[in-house]
Amino acid sequence: MNKFPNLRQFVLIIGNARSGTSLLGSIIDAHPNAMVANETNASKHFWSSLSATEIFEEIYANAETNRENGRYCGGYSYKIAQGPKNLNDIQVTGDKIWNPAMLLLHGDYSLLHHLETTLETNVSIIHAVRNPFDTVATMHNRSGAPVMDRISWYFMHCAAASVIREKARCLDIHHEDVITSPEQELLKILAFLGLEPNPAFLAECKAMLFNKPKLTRHTIAWTPAELEAMNAKIRDYDFLYRYSFDSWTLTR
C-alpha cells in the first residue's frame, strides 16, 4: 500500500558531493506537502530489489529520523523549522541519493524506468551545481586526497549527470543562486515540483541560509596544472559555463 495516497511525483536530488544536494533535500523536505529522505541505504542499489511499499517505508523512516536529528550532513545542520506532517497531504517524495548512485544510474538508465514503474508515479531530477573550484577544494580538504584525484572524481560525476539530465525531466539548481537569490530559486523549485509557495515555508528556508556562498577555493594552493585541468574540463559541460576561479556569474 502506498504510504502517500496523494503522491504525484518522486524526486531524485543528484549532484557532486559538496555541491548543495543536502541543502536542497532539506529545503524540499521542509515543505508541508513534501517528504524527502537523505541518502537511504537502498539508494546505493537504486531500489532495484524493493517493492513500492518498501521504498516508501524507507523514505518515510529516513526522512523522519533525519528531521528529528537535525538533518546533519558534513558537519552542518540543515534543519528547517516545520510542523508535523499529514501523510495524506504529501504530494512529492523522494531522496537526496547516495552520491555514487549517480554512476550506477549512468551505467543503466533502465533503473529510472524501473523506479517509475515500481512506484507508479513520475520521477523527476533536481541537479545541484556549485562552483567546481569550491567543490573540489572542499572534497580535498575533507578527504585529504590529492587535488588531481578529486578533479577526476568531480568530472566523472559531471559526465554522469550530463547524460542523466537528458534521460529525465531535470532542473539544474546552482548553489550560489540559492544563497544570493533565495526566493527566486525556491519558487523555481516549487514550480518544477508543482508545490504551492507557502509563505511560512519560504521564510523558514531563507532564515536558514548562509548570507553568502563559502569560497573554499581560496583555502588551498592550486598548482598551474590543476587550474589548467579544471578550466579545460569546465568547458565540456553547459551547466558549468558560468563558472571560473574568480567568479560564479560569468555568462556563456
Is 16 within a domain?
A: yes
Is 251 within a domain?
A: no
Tally Cβ neighbours within 10 Å of residue 13.
Answer: 26
Q: Beginning with the edge strand found earlier in the chain, give each strand of the sheet holding 9-15 in spatial order.
A: 34-38, 92-96, 9-15, 122-129, 170-174
Tally Cβ neighbours within 10 Å of residue 210.
Answer: 10
pLDDT digit string, tens, across residues 218-230: 999 999 999 999 9
Tally Cβ neighbours within 10 Å of residue 112.
Answer: 17
State which residues form the domain around 210.
Answer: 9-240
Whether the model pTM is above 0.85? yes
- Residue of 203, 240, 244 lying closest to 127 (CA atoms): 240
CA distances in angstroms from 42 to 24, 49, 177, 221, listed in the order given: 20, 9, 31, 38
Check pLDDT > 90 for residue 73: no
Is 250 within a domain?
A: no
Is 234 within a domain?
A: yes
Q: What is the CATH number of the domain that holds 68?
A: 3.40.50.300
Span of 67-76, 132-141, 163-172 with lowest mean pLDDT: 67-76
Is 180 within a domain?
A: yes
pLDDT digit string, tens, across residues 155-167: 999 999 999 999 8
Quick one: average pLDDT of 67-91? Answer: 83
Is 1 within a domain?
A: no
When pLDDT is cut at 50, 70 and 90, the band that residue 174 belongs to is very high
Is 247 within a domain?
A: no
Is 252 within a domain?
A: no
Number of structural domains (the chain) is 1
Cell of 181: 537569490
Check pLDDT > 80 for residue 75: no
When pLDDT is cut at 50, 70 and 90, the band that residue 248 belongs to is low
